[in-house]
Every structure is written in C-alpha cells, then in structure tokens.
Amino acid sequence: MIYNPILCAGILGWGAAQVIKFILFFIQNASVKLERLYGSGGMPSSHSSMVCATLISTGRTAGWDSPAFAIMFVVAAIIMYDAANVRLEAGKHAKQLNEIMQKLFAQGEAADKEKQFKELLGHTPLQVVCGAVLGIIIGAFMPLA
C-alpha cells in the first residue's frame, strides 16, 4: 500500500477546515449550506490549513533544512498572503459591484439581478491564522509511516 504522509496531511488539512466552516455556518445561521463544504472564504482558511499541514509534514519527512521544505515554505507564504490580501480585496470589489448592479436594476436599467459576483473569496487575517494553526497541528500529528 502506498502512503504519502505529506499529501495526506494536506488533504486532511483542507478537509478539516471545510468541515469546520460547514459546522460554524450551521451554528451561526441555523441552516445547512453544502457550499461551505467545498467553497472558498470563511473561517478557518482551508488554503492556509492545507499548505501549513503540507509544510509541517514536509519538514518532518524531508527535513527542516531540505530544499523541499524551503520550497513549501515559500508556496505557503504566497498562498496565505494571497488569501488575506488579494482574494480578500477581490471579494470587497465583488460586493461593491453587486451593490452597483442592484442600484442599476432598481432604476430600471438592463441589469441581470440573477448574475451576482461571488463575494466570499478571501479571508481576514484571523481566518488565515486559524487555518494555519489547524494545519500546523494536523501536520505535526500526521503519522509518517
């Protein structure tokens, strides 16, 4: 049987964050939204959880001074920066565009109210940190063999 602890840690990190998002949404809204099991945005960041679980597993498996760990560290930093900055701002832009479209539609302009931009794209810094902590824990305890 083939077992890749680095890949398994990353997948488990992503899955755990998505399940937590689903549960938190249910607690906050008293409703089920299946999109929370696979969608982006929200608490905790599944991107951060995935890359941090992969990062820690890579360090434990390949060595903390290995080229693989160095590459994974850079990839994790880029992904978490993107989640908390670029995608967060894109979500804010989407919200503004949706508000503009609603105003145009209310004024009788030819706006398609069914076509809404997705607003939940990125993460707040707290969501990124929580995802990172979750991933670090998963990576630290993932069995290596």
Q: What is the 3-state secondary structure (H, E, C) of the chain?
A: CCCCHHHHHHHHHHHHHHHHHHHHHHHHHCCCCHHHHCCCCCCCCHHHHHHHHHHHHHHHHHCCCCHHHHHHHHHHHHHHHHHHHHHHHHHHHHHHHHHHHHHHHHCCCCCCCCCCCCCCCCCCHHHHHHHHHHHHHHHHHCCCC
Domain interval for residue 99: 5-141
pLDDT of 112: 57
- pTM comes to 0.79
Q: Domain tally for the chain?
A: 1
pLDDT of 107: 66
Q: Which residues of the chain have pLDDT under 50?
A: none
pLDDT of 119: 66
